[in-house]
Amino acid sequence: MPLLPRRQPVGLPAMVQDFLPAAGESAPETLQRGIDLQRRKRFREAEYCYQTVLRRQPKNAMALNLMGTLAIEAQQIETAIDFMKRAVKLEPGNAIFRNNLGNAYNLVGNIEQARKQLKKAIELDGRLVEALCNLGKSY
């Protein structure tokens, strides 16, 4: 199910196709393409890239985490939490994933879970400034 509403009913314009992954592109290349698109606020194209990876690799933790960040952009925080929990379950030692999950919990007011995830992120990587900042915001 797409996070963002579709505006193009059938087919994609050539200029949009240039942003989408090529058939033989590797998962890391497709993810990087999605990240680049997301940074440029091209959320639909980024989502397409992440979904492309997840169709090939349903347990790709990075793609799940990135779908969570897109869900936050779309103000679908519960959906973001679902994606991010799946990413953390696959890679429990990933401080960035835990930080993102903690931030999502903060956004819905689940302070207890937010602090738990953020403290774990800091435990895993004490130099992760974003986790320290997010933990501070939870107080």
pLDDT in tens, 65-83: 999 999 999 999 999 999 9
Q: What total of structural domains would you count in the chain? A: 2
CATH code for the domain of 106: 1.25.40.10
pLDDT digits (tens, 9 = 90+) for 85-132: 999 999 999 999 999 999 999 999 999 999 999 999 999 999 999 999
Is residue 41 situated within a structural domain?
yes
pLDDT digits (tens, 9 = 90+) for 11-33: 444 444 555 566 678 999 999 99
Q: Is the pLDDT of residue 9 over 80?
A: no
Is residue 70 situated within a structural domain?
no
Contacts for 79 with CB less than 8 Å, ≥ 6 apart: 3, 68, 71
Q: Is the dihedral of CA 87, 40, 75, 7 positive or negative?
A: negative
Is residue 4 situated within a structural domain?
no
**53 and 81, same domain (yes or no):** no
Specify the pLDDT at position 25. 84
Q: How far is CA 30 from the centre of its chain?
A: 14
For 16, the domain range is: 10-58
